[in-house]
Structure 1
Amino acid sequence: MDAGGRTGAPGAARTDRLLVEILPERRPGILVVTLDGELDHDTAEPLRNALEAASGAVRVVVDCSGLRFCDSTGLNILLRTRLRLLAEGGRVDLAGLRPPVDRVFEITGALRLFPVYEDAGTALGGNPRPA
């Protein structure tokens, strides 16, 4: 692991409490970003870097099924990325939201801003869960 918290594996970045992996989808312009651990002020940099690198993607699916915690910093990163990709003609979708993470999105109203899917496979198949 280097000083930036990155592992040697391509498309993966880790802090002591968060693993971020970028998985290119078979279809061009689609990326899947998987999160595992806790997303907060101290662990947010790998996600911020991964999503900044997604510039030019038409769709980013953020798989939150391994995310156990998300504070306002993580929410803010996702909201800013959503706005940037919308301006570029793209979108950000969320998959696998579990308690208590989905509760953060619910009480802030952010659930209404993102397409939300049961899991990444469903997101890539295109069937959003009802809000």
Structure 2
Amino acid sequence: MRHEPVPLTRQLGMYAYRGHTVLEFRGEIDIVAATEIGPYLDQATGRTGARVVIDLRPAEFFDCSGLRLLYRARVRVLERGGQLHLVCTQPLTLRVFRVTGLARLLPPQPSLDAALARSEAASGSL
């Protein structure tokens, strides 16, 4: 069951799904959006054991500012013993992830359920 995201900014919505905090990036994720999204992302990734999914499916544009957000979120979550998953289906964004190597560090999945199945498999809960 998917819940409607609570809008935090014009480019960011948040909701809970199967014990994870889902941050849904929307529209154009550029330097302006990254500045607005950053504090919310830091809050979600700053808790010990945070379980976060970043859903980029509604994002229409994603530049290096967005890459910095994802890398920072990954570092913060891992430092605190949590989990971070990425959902993305946009071909151009996926290509950028492959070219930059981010796809190896944070493998994108095609859906929330696929991302969480990966999480459950990693923890042995499947």
Corresponding residue for residue 14 of structure 1: 9
Q: How does 1:68-107 map to 2 (within 5 A)?
A: 68-107=60-99
Q: Which residue of 2 aligns with 1:112?
A: 104
CA contact (8 A) 1:13 1:46 kept: no
Superposed CA offset, 1:53-82 (max 9, x none)? 112152211111111111111101110110
CA distance, structure 2, for counterparts of residue 11 and residue 45 of structure 1 = 19
Identical pairs, percent: 32
Q: Shift of the alpha carbon at 1:41?
A: 0.6
Pairing partner for 2:32 from 42, 57, 63:
42
CA RMSD in angstroms, aligned pairs only? 2.1
Structure 1 residue ranges without an equivalent (≥5): 1-9
- Unaligned segments of structure 2, at least 5 residues: 120-126
Normalising by structure 2, what TM-score? 0.79
Local SS of the residue matching 2:89: coil
Query: Is it true that 1:32 corresponds to 2:22 in the alignment?
Result: yes
Structure 1 length-normalised TM: 0.76
Q: Secondary structure at the match of 1:24?
A: strand
d(CA) in 2 for partners of 1:91 and 1:47? 19
Counterpart residue number, 1:3: none
Q: Distance in 1 between matches of 2:80 and 2:64?
A: 24
Q: 37-46 vs 77-86, which deviates more?
A: 37-46
Greater per-residue helix proportion: 2
Runs (4 or more) in structure 1 with deviation over 6 Å come to: none
Query: What's the offset of the Cα at 1:49?
Result: 1.9
Does the residue aligned with 1:97 lie in a helix, a strand or coil?
coil
Question: Within 2, Cα distance between the matches of 1:73 and 1:96?
Answer: 16
